[in-house]
Structure 1
Amino acid sequence: MIVVHHLEHSRSQRILWLLEELGLPYEVKHYKRDAKTFLAPPELFKIHPLGKSPVITDGDITVAESGAIIEYLVDKAGGKLRPALGTQAHRDYTYWMHFAEGSAMPFLVMTLIFNKIEQAPVPLLLKPLILPIAKGISGQVKKSFLNPNLERQFKYLDGVLAQQPWFCGADMTAADIMMSFPLEAAMDRAGGAGTFPHMKAFVDRIHAMPTYKKALEVGGPYAYA
């Protein structure tokens, strides 16, 4: 039996959605984030040495990393949600599977970090000294580096989705499930993402899907839906 070691508010939500789409039987083991640090609990280290989610176990097999998990599960389902080899859709599928974490997420993760720097608690007596410096550095990094790169990336993604409903063409694939988290995170972390109508339409469309809603019921708290 496939067991999803599922951390609340995390990328593992898309693994639950994939399993619902594939129709594969599975179980969920839930993990809560630390209330102060928001990090995964130490129990996850028992499953994988890095102690992160998503990770699945399937008998004596353990698979970590979203892309690797998705490929494993798609293989297990006989190739469902993966375009035929040798087609343009399959080449696009490979591209978007790698793009999701390789290109889309780094700028979003950095945005999250710098937002947290601006919001970090500072001792009252040090606030007049430290807070302006921290906000100044963070603001400059976002203005000169992060925001221009995010803007360029959002324009690119919005342009792709203006031409077709899904990232690989007319049909939904597992690459769309892989790309779901970056687009959801963009809507949550980068306010300007909401001004790109085709990105927003994509997120609204997946949120309305019965399989997505079922995965939310199974997964529990998820801040991006």
Structure 2
Amino acid sequence: MATNEQEPKVTLHWLNQSRSQSIVWLLEELKINFDIKLYHRNKQTMFAPPELEKVHPLGKSPVVVITPPGGSAEPIVLAESGYMANYLCEHFPEGRRLVPQKWKEGMEGKIGGETEAWLRNQYFLHYSEGSLMPYLVLSLVISRLKQPPVPFLIRPITTAVANRIISSYIFPNIYRHIKFLDQQLSTSGGRYICCDHLTPADIILSFPLFSAKDALDNMGQWEGGSWKKEFPRVADYVNHLQNEEGYKKSTQTIAKVDGPNTEVAPKM
């Protein structure tokens, strides 16, 4: 996507099966012209290629690089999804549409003067990566003990260990988080996690929910036999996000640069 000389050049360094999916969606919602630099994981290790370390020392994705127009300043390198979302929404006009109003009338600049929707948006931008995602990543890592390349003869042992960790530690914590999200949705005042319109928090939260939704039922016991039956409010929310036009457009954008069968999220 080309930019003109009056606009900053925005480049997303995109790694397949990574959190980059949600940033593509955010960039689309903000109507930002951007380019995508494509990277693929090592098929054996699933690690990112070393080329990403040239962009950011941690060699992780997503990373957004913003080059100010006219070469007047050094490029800005943004990493961490919540920080990225805050920066982009502050500096691009469409961010005012996505981010809830910050202050209650007459309470500007005062402690406690923030609106509930704004506070929720700030919280869930960081909750997604800091609280929810670690359990899902751990589930993905532990589940690999039950499949190749673990040797066939010892796989029953590693499978038993993996199942024990999932049932005694991972599932109880994930269950707590799904229940928490259900409670938050019941008090958000709308169809989304913060209010009655899409926010950056919804977009960032979409990645862990989309990644885990098909695997949750196999992690443990749910009332009614399914997480969707026990927490239909969360299931409706996930379905609603997947039907957002911005999300659909982001998947089309990725398909254009990496092929139509690209997996945009890891399978739990």
Q: What is the count of residue pairs matched by the alignment?
A: 221
Provide the C-alpha distance between the structure 1 equivalents of 2:175 and 2:245, rounded to a whole number of angstroms.
31
Q: Which residue of 2 aligns with 1:82?
A: 99
| CA distance in structure 2 between the aligned counterparts of 1:121 and 1:146, rounded to whole angstroms | 22
Q: Which has the higher contact order (CA 8 A, sep 6+)?
A: 1
Residue by residue, what CA displacement relative to the aligned partner does 1:63-100 show, whole Å, maximum 9, x if unpaired? 11111111111011244211122211111111111111
Partner of residue 232, structure 2: 197
Aligned to 1:170: 196
SS in structure 2 of the partner of residue 43 of structure 1: helix
Q: 1:100 and 1:187, CA in 2 relative to 1: closer, same or farther beyond 3 A?
A: same
RMSD: 1.8
Cα displacement string for residues 31-66 of structure 1 (whole angstroms, at most 9, x for unaligned residues):
111122222112111111111100011111111111
Normalised by the size of structure 1, how large is the TM-score?
0.91
Are residues 1:118 and 2:146 paired?
yes
Between the aligned partners of 2:233 and 2:147, the Cα distance in structure 1 is: 31
Contact 2:99/2:121 (8 A) holds in 1: yes
Farther off after superposition, 154-163 or 62-71 = 154-163
Please report how far the alpha carbon of residue 177 of structure 1 lies from its aligned counterpart in structure 2 after TM superposition: 0.7
SS in 1 for 2:41: coil
Shift of 1:168: 0.5
* Unpaired stretches in structure 2, ≥5 consecutive residues: 1-8, 68-74, 103-113, 218-225, 256-261
Gaps of 5+ in 1: none
Q: What one-letter code is carried by the residue in structure 1 that aligns with 2:33?
A: P
Match for residue 173 of structure 2?
149
Q: How many Å apart are 1:224 and its aligned residue?
A: 4.2
The percent identity for this pair of structures is 38
2:155 counterpart (117, 125, 131): 131
CA displacement at 1:223 relative to structure 2: 4.3
Question: Which of the two has higher C-alpha Rg?
Answer: 2
Is 1:95 the counterpart of 2:136? The answer is no
Partner of 1:222: 263
Tell me the TM-score normalized by structure 2.
0.77
Q: Aligned equivalents of 2:36 and 2:101: distance in 1? A: 30
When you count helix as a share of all residues, which structure comes out higher? 1
The residue that corresponds to 2:59 in the other structure is 51
